């Protein structure tokens, strides 16, 4: 499905419904599967969460997670401790080219029985579940925080808990902090001291009802809408104060202050308002803790015609697509000058934006949603727009309040 988006109103007033955080939901589903006493409310309605939920109750010998990277990492760890089970864990062609060797090798050092079925270091994986007894493991932390979170989530079921000794500087550390906060929320002790993470064992947890906060990554697209508006008043119900959120992407509230979007907090949610001030200064940010905001911020800067320099983006090359290359290609279609390295992007916007641009999404939900707010400034066609279902199935319905949409 290709969608044509055209400007509707440069002064949008809207209330946007955003479902529970995909990242929180997926972590809680693993903990629920391990301990059974967790009741989850406001679970994410994303494809990724549905894939994980289905896999956790499946009796099939082969489980295909498609494009769901979090599911692949978390299930690799989860199935490795399911005594007596044997599972072939696979995914899409892109998934079979996304590295998982660091996690597998860490699990093997703990005693897991996992073998690569095609290319060493990549899915598909044959996993024979067994009881893991060892108490510590070293692993590199500079490729994906999901490897670390996957181990943290299964660690409480180890007889003596588990210590993770991190090598190299962690990327996306906010997601590791999220995992720690959710462990503590269900009564599991976890300590992070220097380059060491210690998760303590539990046999049972008391019954907990966890309400998943709406997804801040999804909220960022409406911050982008507000930034590119003349004036905007956008309500995001049920969000809490970004300063106490478990989600690292709540940093969007602070980042978009620099793009003249003010966030107000109430008992019912948050309120975004465009503030008219002097000109916006060029943006220079290290996004190593919030890489999922990179595409959205780059497009916001394009629409506002301000240069940006974004660093800390080394994880983007192993996402649903090579996001740095994809961003460069699509931003340049809009007239921008773009330079990328292995972990950075510099963009100089054009003086005049084109009247129309056709955006390819590369099977990447965030490419579709990041470029959609550009319709505040110009006509945009988003190809394969249905890819948003991976994390935000209702995205286009919510955007209808803000721009004209035609198939």
Q: Which residues touch 77 (CB under 8 Å, ≥6 apart)?
A: 103, 107, 150, 151, 153, 154
- Cα separation, 166 vs 20, whole angstroms: 30
Query: Is 307 in contact with 347 (CB distance < 8 Å)?
Result: yes
Cα distances from 9 to residues 14, 381, 402, in angstroms, run 11, 18, 7
Q: Of 270, 319, 227, nearest to 16 (Cα)?
A: 270
Query: Is 74 in contact with 91 (CB distance < 8 Å)?
Result: no
Is the peptide bond between 222 and the residue preceding it cis, with omega within 30 degrees of 0?
A: no
- Cα separation, 357 vs 273, whole angstroms: 27
Beta strand pairing call for 162-167 and 136-140: parallel
Q: Catalytic site residues? A: 292
């Amino acid at each position: 499905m290709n969608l044509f988006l055209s400007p509707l109103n440069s002064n949008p007033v809207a209330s946007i419904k955003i479902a529970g955080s995909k990242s929180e939901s997926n972590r809680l589903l693993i903990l629920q599967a391990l301990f059974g006493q967790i009741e989850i409310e406001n679970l994410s309605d994303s494809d990724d969460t549905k894939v994980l939920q289905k896999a956790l109750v499946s009796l099939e010998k082969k489980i295909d997670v498609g494009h769901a990277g979090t599911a692949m990492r978390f299930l690799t760890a989860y199935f490795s401790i399911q005594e007596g089970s044997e599972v072939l864990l696979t995914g899409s062609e892109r998934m079979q080219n996304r590295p998982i060797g660091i996690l597998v090798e860490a699990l093997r050092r703990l005693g897991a029985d996992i073998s690569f079925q095609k290319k060493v270091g990549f899915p598909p994986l044959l996993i024979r579940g067994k009881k893991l007894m060892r108490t510590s493991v070293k692993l590199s932390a500079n490729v994906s925080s999901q490897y670390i979170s996957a181990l943290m989530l299964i660690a409480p079921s180890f007889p003596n808990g588990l210590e993770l000794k991190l090598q190299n500087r962690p990327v996306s550390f906010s997601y590791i902090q999220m995992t720690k906060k959710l462990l503590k929320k269900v009564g599991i002790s976890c300590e992070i001291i220097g380059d060491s993470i210690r998760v303590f064992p539990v046999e049972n947890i008391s019954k907990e009802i966890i309400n998943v906060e709406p997804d801040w990554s999804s909220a960022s697209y409406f911050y982008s809408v507000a930034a590119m508006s003349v004036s905007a008043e956008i309500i995001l119900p049920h969000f809490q104060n970004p300063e106490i959120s478990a989600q690292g992407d709540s940093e969007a509230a602070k980042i978009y202050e620099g793009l003249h979007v003010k966030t107000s907090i109430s008992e019912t949610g948050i309120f975004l308002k465009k503030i008219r001030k002097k000109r916006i200064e060029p943006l220079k940010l290290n996004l190593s803790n919030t890489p999922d905001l990179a595409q959205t911020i780059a497009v916001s800067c394009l629409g506002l015609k301000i240069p940006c320099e974004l660093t800390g983006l080394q994880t983007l090359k192993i996402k649903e697509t090579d996001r740095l290359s994809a961003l460069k290609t699509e931003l340049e279609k809009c007239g921008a000058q773009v330079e990328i390295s292995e972990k950075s992007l510099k963009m100089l916007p054009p003086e005049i934006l084109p009247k129309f641009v056709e955006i390819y999404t590369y099977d990447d939900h965030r490419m579709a949603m990041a470029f959609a707010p550009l319709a505040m400034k110009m006509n945009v066609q988003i190809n394969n727009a249905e890819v948003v279902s991976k994390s935000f199935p209702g995205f286009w319905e919510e955007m209808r309040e803000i721009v004209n949409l035609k198939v």
